[in-house]
Structures are given as C-alpha cells and as structure tokens.
C-alpha cells in the first residue's frame, strides 16, 4: 500500500490561492458548534453537468442518453424541461461567487462527455473544452480547488445507442475522453473523479429502467457494472499518463440491515448488500469480485480486474441513508422513492418505521454514515485509501430550511465520530450547491443550499447556506486539540 496522498487543501497547485474572507452580508444563523475536524480538511459542495448546465444545443454539444430519455413523455415525473438545468452554462460565474461566499475549499462539478466529444468518440469539440477551461480558471481565481467528475451519467447518445455500458467499447472510449480532458486541464486541476455511482447507473438505468437508458434487464444488467468499473481503471491510467494525479471515484454506499433475524431475511439482505455495495468496492479495493460473480461478468475478467483495481489516491463515498431489506413478501415496498420495485426480485425493500424523513421520503439516519465508514475500514483495512465524502445531503422545501441544517449537523457529527474511530477522512462535499434537476424527479426535489426559481433561474441562498458558511469559517479557525500527555 502506498503512503496516503496529502489532503487536497494541503497541495499547492497553480490555482490554490488563499480565500478572501467570506462576506457577512447573508442573514446570520446560529450553528451549534461542531467538533474540530483534522487540519487541512477539505470543505466543498457538489453538482453535475446534466442537472445544472442546460445549454443542451449550444457550443456544439451532442445529445446524451439522458437528453433522449428525458424527452420521452412521462419520463420526468413533473414534466420539467430538463434541458434547461439551472442555466449553469451561462451563470457559472454567479455560482462560483456563491461558492466563494461559502468559503468552499473545493467544487465537485462534472464534465459533460458529449459536450467535449459529441459522438462519444471521434472529433473533439473545442467550444466544449473551452467552457470547462473558463470554469476551471474562474474557480482558480477564487482559490477554489476544481474537482471534476468525468462521468456523471450523461453517456453520449451514439454510444448509448450502440449498447452503452453493456458494450465493452464504451469503456475504451471513456479512457480516450479522459486523456483529452486531462491534456487540457491537468495543469490546474489537482483532484480528479473518474465515475459517479456505477451502482445506480447499473440498477436504475439498465436493471429497473427508471433512469436512462430505460432498460429493464434485471440481473442481465451486470455487464454494465463491469464495464463502468473497467472504464474507471482505464481512465486512471489515462489520467496519470497525461500528468494528472490525486485520483478517486464516487461510489454510493448504504449500510444494509436485515428485516429480521430469520435466515431468509438475512440471506436477502446479504444479496442486496453484495449487489449494491461489495460488487463495486471489492473489485476496486481488492481486485476480486464477491464469490460467484466473476462468471457473470463479460470479457477477460481476471485481466480486467487488474485494471479495475489500479491504485487509488482516495476513495469517494456518497451516503444518504441505510436500507432495510428482507425476503420478498406481500408487504414489501412496491415503490421506493418513486422507483418501481419488480416483484420478481429475490429481495424486498422494507420501510424503516419511526424515522424522520426527507422530502424525498428517505429516512434520516446520521449514524449510518459512521457505521458505513467504520465498516469499510474493518472490511478493507489498509486497502482502503483516504476517504472523501463526495455526496451527502437531503431534499427539503423552503428558504428557512432548518430541517436541512439539522440533517447536515447530524451527519457531520457522525462523520467526526468515524474519524475518532480511526477512519482517515479528508473531506466533505455537500450535495448540492444549488437546487437542480433531480433526474427522473425533475424539479420536485430540492437538495440545494441555494434556491433556484425554475421560471427565472434566480438564485437565493437558503438558511442552510449561511449555516454551512459559518461551519467552514469555524472549522478553519479551530485549533487542533492538544494530544494527551
């Protein structure tokens, strides 16, 4: 195991200049003092291209699988025009100013593959690359570390129509795209994310058909998982060859609890845990699939695993809530967070009763974050690199969003307990900076620290924005505790 890479805040890339103090013009909010995180801890916010950029037909951008999917009647539940996003393509300077007002140390955004290479392969679109050039420069000018994600679900439509992630060639083309982006931006980008949430793309896009590309293949969707992991490994090699460093990826994880101590419920929960957690973390961190899954994957699996398990500088965790899972049963959830759950699955999702819930209907369980991180450390030991929380957040309505403040406060306390228990956590990215198009939910779910009026695209900071700003200030001012003795 290589020695841990330094936290990005401690790096000295060309753009890492000190922040100016955040202005005091936002409405003040008292925030309960949080325990101090380690020096150099990276505080950031996140977004993605499809959810925010808009400008779907400008600058030579090609269509993505999500553009085609969202244009089908009924795919976006509230009928929102997903092609508008939040207007980030035109208003990125305004959003960077909001980040600077937070005092954010980093911004996790995504680069739209079809904006850079409209066909997914072939000619590069100079205007598309120029947009991200300008964005990176704007972030650097404000002392904010750019942390781009190369794939946040927007597969170029020609590749999707040729099979998408079911096709091995998509992984090869992704590596080519990664090399193009790194050649342009590696001199100013000190932190890279290859792919985001391959489990969700596999399950929601290819297995259940609720997200793009709308395929309903159930277990025949597994090749999509393998090819995304392969794309990640190939991209790591391409990035390093182009001079990029400090590379990770963003993997969604949830603690999985059995509905009861009965053997059937425990077996169902174990399968669900394997499919949603270990199917991705095991190959990435150990170079092996969970028992029984090698034979379900396409291609020269052993050779591919050597690529998939390329050394990571850090490991990104997206956490929202735990899952309660049991054997299939008549009282299992038929839908979960608006997603249809096929009755033929060998497990059933159950309701976690007695829990506060977000606007999305997700249970609020802050300690699940600590449980998850401590569990990853116990399972993988020294194979687990330093961790960044690459997404954590919640959907609530209103500008005076005290429920969001309580959610974030609870999760940051749980995160600190994980640090105290020995997990090497280097940073936290709240999801998300602004409200955005929440995929198939459209504009109905508001995760942002900043409210977006979808008629005018006007931005208005919420109470949680001021609270998070104050947290970042307090953490930077805190002095580390003296060691005992």
pLDDT digits (tens, 9 = 90+) for 416-450: 999 999 999 999 999 999 999 999 999 999 999 99
Q: What pLDDT was estimated at residue 130?
A: 98
- Average pLDDT, integer, range 455-481: 92
In terms of Cα–Cα distance, which of 461, 452, 314 is closest to 390? Answer: 314
Using the predicted structure, report yes or no on whether residue 13 has a pLDDT greater than 90: no
0.85 exceeded by the pTM? yes
Using the predicted structure, report yes or no on whether residue 481 has a pLDDT greater than 80: no
Using the predicted structure, report yes or no on whether residue 324 has a pLDDT greater than 70: yes
User: Which pLDDT band, with edges at 50, 70 and 90, does 33 fall under?
Assistant: confident
| 391 is an active site residue | yes
Would the annotation count 356 as a binding residue?
no
Kindly report the backbone phi and psi dihedral angles of residue 326, in degrees, each rounded to the nearest multiple of 5, phi listed first. -140, -175
Show the tokens assigned to 300. 């020269």
Domains of the chain in sequence order = 8-477 (3.20.20.80)
Using the predicted structure, report yes or no on whether residue 4 has a pLDDT greater than 70: no
Q: What pLDDT was estimated at residue 18?
A: 31
Q: What pLDDT was estimated at residue 298?
A: 98
Would the annotation count 152 as a binding residue?
yes
| 270 is an active site residue | no
* Catalytic entry in 138, 160, 197, 371: 197
Using the predicted structure, report yes or no on whether residue 3 has a pLDDT greater than 50: no
Residue 190 · residue 11 · CB < 8 Å: yes
Q: How far apart are CA 229 and CA 169, in angstroms?
A: 13
Check the CA dihedral 178-47-325-206 and report its sign.
negative
Does the N-terminal peptide bond of residue 213 adopt cis geometry, omega within 30 degrees of 0? yes
Task: Give the position of tokens 């396409």.
Answer: 298
In terms of Cα–Cα distance, which of 120, 123, 125, 199 is closest to 164? Answer: 120
Would the annotation count 192 as a binding residue?
no
How much of the chain, in percent, has pLDDT values that exceed 90? 88
Using the predicted structure, report yes or no on whether residue 19 has a pLDDT greater than 60: no
CA dihedral 232, 236, 237, 243 (to 10 degrees): 150
Check the CA dihedral 291-292-295-298 and report its sign.
negative
- Average pLDDT, integer, range 15-36: 49
Would the annotation count 228 as a binding residue?
no
User: Which pLDDT band, with edges at 50, 70 and 90, does 32 fall under?
Assistant: low
Using the predicted structure, report yes or no on whether residue 470 has a pLDDT greater than 90: yes
Query: How buried is residue 295: exposed, middle or buried, by Cβ count under 10 Å (0-12/13-18/19+)?
Result: exposed
Show the tokens assigned to 281. 């973390």
User: Which pLDDT band, with edges at 50, 70 and 90, does 160 fall under?
Assistant: very high
- Over residues 293-305, the pLDDT tens digits come to 999 999 999 999 9
Would the annotation count 475 as a binding residue?
no
Q: How far apart are CA 216 and CA 208, in angstroms?
A: 5
* Catalytic entry in 53, 310, 371, 391: 391
- Average pLDDT, integer, range 82-101: 97
Would the annotation count 51 as a binding residue?
yes
Would the annotation count 438 as a binding residue?
yes
């Amino acid at each position: 195991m290589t020695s841990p890479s330094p936290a990005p805040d401690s790096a000295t890339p060309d753009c890492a200049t000190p922040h100016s103090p955040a202005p005091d013009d936002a409405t003040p909010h008292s925030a309960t003092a949080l325990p101090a995180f380690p020096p150099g801890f990276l505080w950031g916010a996140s977004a993605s291209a499809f959810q925010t950029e808009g400008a779907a037909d400008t600058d030579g951008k090609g269509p993505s699988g999500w553009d085609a999917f969202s244009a089908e009647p009924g795919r976006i539940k509230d009928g929102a025009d997903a092609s508008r996003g939040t207007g980030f393509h035109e208003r990125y300077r305004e959003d960077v100013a909001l980040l600077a007002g937070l005092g954010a140390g980093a911004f996790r955004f995504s680069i739209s593959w079809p904006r850079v290479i409209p066909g997914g392969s072939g000619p590069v679109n100079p205007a598309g690359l120029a947009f991200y050039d300008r964005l990176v420069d704007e972030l650097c000018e404000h002392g904010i570390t750019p942390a781009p994600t190369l794939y946040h679900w927007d597969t170029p439509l020609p590749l999707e129509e040729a099979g998408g992630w079911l096709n091995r060639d998509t992984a090869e083309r992704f590596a080519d795209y990664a090399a193009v982006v790194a050649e342009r931006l590696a001199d100013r980008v000190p932190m890279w994310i290859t792919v985001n949430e391959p489990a969700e793309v596999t399950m929601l896009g290819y297995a259940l058909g609720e997200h793009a590309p709308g395929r309903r293949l159930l277990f025949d969707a597994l090749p999509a998982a393998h090819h995304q992991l392969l794309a990640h490994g190939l991209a790591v090699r391409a990035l390093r060859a182009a001079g990029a460093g400090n590379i990770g990826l963003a993997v969604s994880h949830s603690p999985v609890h059995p509905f009861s101590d009965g053997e059937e419920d425990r077996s169902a929960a174990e399968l669900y845990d394997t499919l949603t957690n270990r199917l991705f973390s095991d190959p990435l961190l150990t170079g092996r699939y969970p028992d029984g899954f090698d034979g379900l994957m396409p291609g020269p699996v052993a050779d591919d695993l050597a690529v998939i398990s390329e050394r990571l500088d850090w490991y990104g965790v997206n956490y929202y809530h735990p899952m309660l899972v049991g054997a299939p049963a008549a009282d299992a959830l038929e839908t979960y967070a608006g997603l249809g759950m096929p009755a033929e699955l060998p497990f059933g999702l159950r309701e976690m009763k007695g829990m506060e819930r977000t606007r999305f209907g997700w249970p609020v369980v802050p300690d699940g974050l600590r449980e998850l991180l401590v569990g990853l450390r116990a399972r993988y030991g020294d194979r687990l690199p330093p961790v960044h929380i690459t997404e954590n957040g919640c959907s609530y309505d209103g500008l005076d969003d005290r429920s969001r403040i309580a959610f974030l406060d609870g999760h940051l306390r749980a995160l600190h307990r994980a640090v105290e228990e020995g997990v090497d956590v280097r940073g936290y990215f709240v999801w998300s900076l602004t409200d955005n198009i929440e995929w198939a939910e459209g504009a109905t779910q508001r995760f942002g620290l900043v409210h977006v009026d979808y008629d005018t695209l006007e931005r208005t900071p919420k109470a949680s924005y001021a609270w998070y700003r104050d947290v970042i200030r307090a953490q930077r001012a805190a002095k580390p505790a003296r060691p005992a003795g």
